[in-house]
Amino acid sequence: MARIGVTGHVVLADGTAELVYARLTEELRPYAGPDLLGITCLADGADQLFARAVLACGGTYEVVIPARDYRRRAVETHNLATFDELLRRASSVSYMPFQQSGREAYLAASMEMLRRCDRLFAVWDGRPSADIGDTADVVRAAHSRHLPVTVLWPTGARRR
């Protein structure tokens, strides 16, 4: 079984989601089928695009939610329907032991995602983290665990 986790940027510029989705699908294609298992925290942006790409490749995904209040506190109104749909389609959903969302919870969820995976896809522009638990921190943690990391930042991709 291929167990692939994802980390990546939440806020993508117009047109970037399509580029990232195409690249994720391309990278997942060698693992396509029922033995593909994705692990995601299901944040807007890269995580949700990854979940869709896993499904398109015939796989399933697990979701690690950072805190009990994550949906209410961290999922923006425009993203609620998509978040709920993808949450329903997950093969399993687990919650980190935090009541409130925040940087500590986000980092813990990412570390749990890394614990579960054998490889990491990072939708990352290569810039340093602006805050604890951002993409660069997760990539650094994956390297320290000797996990293979595939960085995906397609030509023309931008952050807002």
Q: Give the neighbor-by-neighbor strand order of the sheet with 149-152.
A: 92-95, 60-65, 36-40, 2-8, 119-123, 149-152
Say what the pLDDT of residue 100 is: 96
Which residues, in sequence order, are CB contacts of 85 under 8 Å at separation 6+?
A: none
> For 46-73, what is the mean pLDDT?
98
pLDDT at 61: 98
- The predicted-structure confidence for 10-23, as pLDDT tens digits, reads as follows 999 999 999 999 99
> Could you list the residue range(s) of the whole structural domain that residue 101 is in?
2-152
pLDDT for residue 83 is more than 90: yes
Q: What's the mean per-residue pLDDT of the chain?
A: 97
Asked if residue 131 has pLDDT above 90, the reply is: no
The reply to whether 26 falls in a domain is yes
Give me the helices (H) in 117-156, please.
135-144
- Asked whether residue 157 is domain-assigned, the answer is no
Q: What is the largest CA-CA distance in the chain?
A: 39
Residue 97 has pLDDT above 90, yes or no: yes
In a domain, 159, yes or no: no
With a cut of 90, say whether residue 96 has pLDDT above it. yes
Please give the tally of structural domains in the chain.
Answer: 1
Assess whether pLDDT exceeds 90 at residue 30.
yes
The share of the chain scoring above pLDDT 90, in percent, equals 96
For residue 128, the domain's CATH number is 3.40.50.450
